[in-house]
Structure 1
Amino acid sequence: MSHSSHSAHSHFGWGSGGGVTTADGPRRVLLVILAVLAVATIAGLVALWPSHARVEHAEAGAPKVAHNVTFPVGTIEIIQNSCPGYFSSGTAEHLSGPGDSRACQLAKVRVDSGDAAGTSIVLPVLWPYSKAGLAVGDQVKLMQTPTPKGAAVQSDAQNGQIASGKGSSFQVYGVVRNQPILWWVIAFAVAVIAVGALRGALALVALGFAGATIAFFTLPSLISGSPGLAVGVCTAAAIMFVVIYLAHGVSIRSSVALLGTLVGVALTAGIAQLMVATTHLTGVPDDTTSTISTVTSAIDFRGLLTCAIIIAGLGALNDITVTQASAVWELRIAAPSMSRGQLFASAMRIGRDHIASTIYTIVFAYVGTALAVLVTIYLYKRSVFDLLSYDDISTEVVRTLCSSIGLILAMPVTTGLAILLLPVHGTQRRPAPAAA
């Protein structure tokens, strides 16, 4: 048996990809490139590791609530769909249409935490919480504000507040959703594991790693003032190195998908940088980013936008590259006599269909996210070109275009890399591994 054929049966998986013989030279080149990129990623993480002093300084500068204001949790004991006596003449007291911001409910709430725990208070529930479908037993987040000494204990219905006997006024500040969201997360995990078995469980672990990377590296690095482009690329590379091998196994097939993904990340990063510059986006499309600017001046908001674009496209990009690598492998197994040119043409046909559906997915996802903005556009009958002058609209357009162009270019690159690893003809079948 030749050296090439022997190495193709490496028990660790580097020499094969699901029973397909790979060429020695290209395989070694692939692994060397990935090793270099892994070292570069680690070096980037070390160089960009956040300064905790800067993060703490930014946190200290974050706007604080007024002195002695607290946010206890309360449980609804009684609720009715009207607020008799709480509003001046001419203001709606009853629930009306779905979008009526005057809608009000009157609730008796038992305070469950804080210095007023055990107290029951009656207060109006104003829009939008009055349209949240609240019922008896639901929990709400309250804002408790101390009443100035000597002030009369009375209701302040215009602000949705009513004073308690402990010298504080309360208002509904939010809805406690921890438990229902936790149950839906559990349902999601059960569905993933039930259908995906071991692969599904490993995908959840990979997702957890991605979240930890963003929480402990990406966010504090951006707050520390690190360049958004570099942070985005390092974040994406670190996540993909772990996610692809963890979710799809250690093999040459996965390595091809990884390299294709990293090439796609680099292309997306370059295109994002160019598009943000040429479209003159500020990176401050909404009130949230405006608020950040009052906390710290270290963040480059255009870099923050570039980083966001890179991360936003990771899922679809990974989907495309893994599918293309698998398509080439399966085509080689099904038709071992096909030439490299024929394999490339067949895999590209599969990729084009996948590209079309993936682009729809990206666009529809952004349309769904921005549906409220689109409704506003429709109501004011503004032209699309006029609306592109607004950062929030233009940001979503640029984000969609960058993600789409990046994955479109990554598809033929990944396909070509997979083809280069295969000999001109032939495949060797091995017993298929047990299903995960």
Structure 2
Amino acid sequence: MIDLHTDQKQPVRRLLLRWAPPLLLLLVFCVFVVRINAVDKFGLVSREGQTFEKGVVTEIIQDNLQYDGSRVGEQLVRVEMKTGARAGQTLEMTSSSGYLFGAGCTVGMKVIVMQSVSGDSTVASVYAQDRETVIYVFAGLYLLVLCLVGGKQGVKGALGLVFTFFCILFMYLPLVYRDHSPFWVSVFICTITTIVTMYLIGGPTMKTLVATGGTVAGVCIAGLTATAFSAASGITGWNVSDIESLLTLWNTNGIQVGGLLFSGLLISSLGATMDVAMSIASAISEIHTQTPDISRRELFRAGMRVGRDMMGTDSNTLILAFAGGSISMLVLDYAYDLPYLQIINSNNIGIAIMQGLAGSFGIVLSVPVTVLLAVFLYTLGRKTPAA
């Protein structure tokens, strides 16, 4: 006789077995995040009385637009304040023509105003165009397209992306600020985000375990390669272009700024390595499912054939990414016709080369590591047939 009551409980039990441990870990994770973010920041710059508020340009009193389309000097504009102590009031202020600060104001433009209020006195200037809404709209559109095109897997990928971004903001930054090693903090962040993302995509399966192990191994290989390159070339995290500003953090908070370069390398190589590891794990899982009697050697060869096809494109991923980020510097070097020895031995070029090559090392070497791990786990417990 079939016990219908027991049969009805089975889906509930399976659901609890899958989601109860992750939800418990999520609760512990949230408590940890709240604790590490309870930190008092050292005031590097005095901003007493200074705030950034929203406003809308209502009138251009004096423009700085030239006949050739360029802007020289400052604009004099009137801005209706939308937030802050002067909300609802219209203030007269300037907007510089700099490329880093200010904005080419037009009537109706939404702007961010930097203002200092002291009693009835107000000093204000246009800081930048208000881009907050645009950023959120495009980010939302990307997540929407990802979910529509990817379906259920796209939704899981979007959740993984949001979680990764959350970890960088609310785990990596406070831990580094608390004087923990940036390198090991990035290893921790990469491991946590990989586990969560892979679990969302693959569930509690052997494929998820294989992809997670391959990703973590690839990221660590990239970090070790960068460390070896640093020791051989003399390039360290102290050679970055913004070291003067970072030294202030080192002197006031003791932050290990020398490790920021390598920790950033690990985080930047995470996405590409994760893609390679999951693709290989999925391919080997499918091969093993369709041909369960395949030998370990043949399974390894099949996995390597899949991995080699991916190397052809993924090996260029980070090199092209870092080359694209350095394109302005390369154009300047070309325009000034700098000598080859000066260019190849400069710190900026060396850092870009180190980042691209170390990350690519991690991607390429994650292929055999993932294949070996997959072959071992998928065939674990199988008796080796007689020759």
Q: Which residue of 2 aligns with 1:344?
A: 300
Which amino acid in the other structure matches residue 188 of structure 1? Y
Equivalent positions of 1:260-275 (< 5 A) are: 260-275=214-229
Equivalent positions of 1:5-84 (< 5 A) are: 55-56=39-40, 59-65=41-47, 67-79=48-60, 82-83=63-64
Q: Which residue of 2 aligns with 1:386?
A: 342
Contact 2:95–2:104 (8 Å) recurs in 1: no
The Cα of 1:423 is off from its aligned counterpart by 4.4
Alignment pair present for 1:126 and 2:97: yes
- When residues 132 and 173 of structure 1 are mapped into structure 2, their CA distance, relative to the original with a 3 A threshold, is closer
CA distance in 2, matches of 1:62, 1:212: 25
CA distance in 1, matches of 2:229, 2:281: 29
SS at match of 2:276: helix
TM-score under structure 1 length normalisation: 0.70
Equivalent positions of 1:270-419 (< 5 A) are: 270-284=224-238, 288-297=242-251, 298-334=254-290, 338-383=294-339, 385-419=341-375
Q: Deviations over 1:327-367 (max 9, x none)?
A: 11223345556543333223322212212211222222222
The Cα of 1:188 is off from its aligned counterpart by 0.8
Instruction: Name the structure where helix makes up a greater proportion of residues.
Output: 2
Higher RCO structure (Cα 8 Å, ≥6 apart): 1
Gaps of 5+ in 2: 1-12, 16-24, 383-387
% identity of equivalent residues: 26
SS at match of 2:316: helix
The Cα of 1:251 is off from its aligned counterpart by 0.7
Moved more, 331-340 or 294-303: 331-340
Moved more, 290-299 or 195-204: 290-299
Q: Which residue of 2 aligns with 1:27?
A: none
CA distance in 1, matches of 2:240, 2:67: 30
Moved more, 398-407 or 268-277: 268-277
CA distance in 2, matches of 1:102, 1:385: 38
The Cα of 1:108 is off from its aligned counterpart by 3.6
CA distance in 1, matches of 2:339, 2:292: 55
Q: Deviations over 1:38-94 (max 9, x none)?
A: x9xx9xxx9x998778x52xx2232223x43333322122459942xxxxxxxxx51
The Cα of 1:381 is off from its aligned counterpart by 1.9
Which amino acid in the other structure matches residue 387 of structure 1? I
Q: Which residue of 1 aligns with 2:68?
A: 96
TM-score under structure 2 length normalisation: 0.78
Paired positions, count: 353
After the TM superposition, list the runs of 4 or more consecutive aligned residues in structure 1 that deviate by more than 6 angstroms. Answer: 48-53, 129-133
Contact 2:214–2:366 (8 Å) recurs in 1: yes
Which amino acid in the other structure matches residue 158 of structure 2? L
The Cα of 1:384 is off from its aligned counterpart by 5.0
- When residues 209 and 124 of structure 1 are mapped into structure 2, their CA distance, relative to the original with a 3 A threshold, is closer
CA distance in 2, matches of 1:146, 1:49: 33
Q: Which residue of 2 aligns with 1:155?
A: none
CA distance in 2, matches of 1:316, 1:95: 48
- When residues 248 and 290 of structure 1 are mapped into structure 2, their CA distance, relative to the original with a 3 A threshold, is farther
CA distance in 2, matches of 1:289, 1:50: 30
Gaps of 5+ in 1: 1-10, 14-38, 84-92, 150-165, 427-436
Cα root mean square deviation, aligned: 3.6
Q: Which residue of 1 aligns with 2:9?
A: none
